[in-house]
Amino acid sequence: MQALEKISDQRLFGGHQMRFAHDSKVLNCRMQFSVYLPPQAGQQDVPALYWLSGLTCTDENFSAKAGAQRVAAELGIALVIPDTSPRGEQVPDDPEGAYDFGLGAGFYVNATEAPFASHYQMYDYIAKELPALVEAELPLSPKRSISGHSMGGHGALVIALRESGRYCSVSAFAPISNPINCPWGQKALTGYLGKDESLWQNYDASVLLAEKQATLPILVDQGDADPFLAKQLKPEALQTASQSSGSELELRIQPGYDHSYYFIASFIEDHLRFHGLYLLPQS
């Protein structure tokens, strides 16, 4: 098992906000990620919520801006916050330096196209390598849920729907719900997977949800003042898919909220308590 290098450790609400580095065999590079361990982790293994961030983010955006640790400490849920792409000088980036592809924009897929396939295996990193590592090295139980924002909301939904036996629940803020039909998704899926659109469907939450009834609870929040709502996010596709498969999806449209971390901070407590219903024993 790869050793973790602790980079930082701050006390927070009786727990510890930490940052780690490790060598990833899946991504073929050195990675960093953040973890919040609640105070209960000092006495026992605790369940974890994995948070997947959006375009241009690192593992530090959520831990600094969302304000999730107070409620996580109360509930006794750890927060595991990975980076959004492989990193390092050897890792290829968008040749034009665009923000929506390459570094900071791994889209949580397993790339098959050169030169990205040798590093951009973010699906396997999130679903397999990282959980195995942190559950072996930190006081975390095998009970886990997953959430995310925008590109990370897309990743959380796709991973949970494809790996439903590994998660207790899934939620998302303003997810890219139908990437095969939006510019962000079409660019990323072409670059990472090639032009065969049948392969793209494996990474589209709306397609996956329409094909099979979800076996885990789903909560999605979307602001109606989000500038990316109509062109990029398409929550209506997710709603239609859930209805066609008979899946239970709670989609909440929040009046006046945009795509920012102010939106996430406003509703993160709701999401943590939602996941707590499935991660924690109920009295």
Q: Specify whether 150 is catalytic.
A: yes
- Cα(128)–Cα(146) distance, integer angstroms: 13
Kindly report each contact of residues 260-265 with a partner whose C-beta sits within 8 Å and lies 24 or more positions away, as own/partner: 261/61, 261/65, 261/66, 263/173, 263/174, 263/221, 263/223, 263/226, 264/62, 264/65, 264/66, 264/149, 264/173, 265/65, 265/66, 265/67
* 149 noted as active-site residue: no
Alpha helices in 138-249 (DSSP H): 151-162, 183-193, 197-200, 205-211, 235-245
Rounded to 5 degrees, what are φ and ψ at 135? -75, -20
Active-site choice (34, 53, 150, 242) = 150
Catalytic residue among 59, 100, 226, 242: 226
The token pair that represents 188 in the structure block: 């990323």
> Taking Cα atoms as reference points, which of 20, 25, 27 lies closest to residue 5?
20
Phi, psi of 234, rounded to the nearest 5 degrees: 55, 55
How many whole angstroms separate alpha carbon 136 and alpha carbon 171?
25
List residues bridging with 36 in a β-sheet: 17, 79
DSSP assignments along 144-162, one per residue = EEEEEBTHHHHHHHHHHHH
Dig out the tokens for 57 from the structure. Answer: 């983010």
Q: By three-state DSSP, how is residue 239 classified?
A: helix
Q: What is the token pair recorded at 161?
A: 């729907």
259 is catalytic: yes
User: Active-site residue among 154, 259, 271, 275?
Assistant: 259
Positions marked active-site: 150, 226, 259
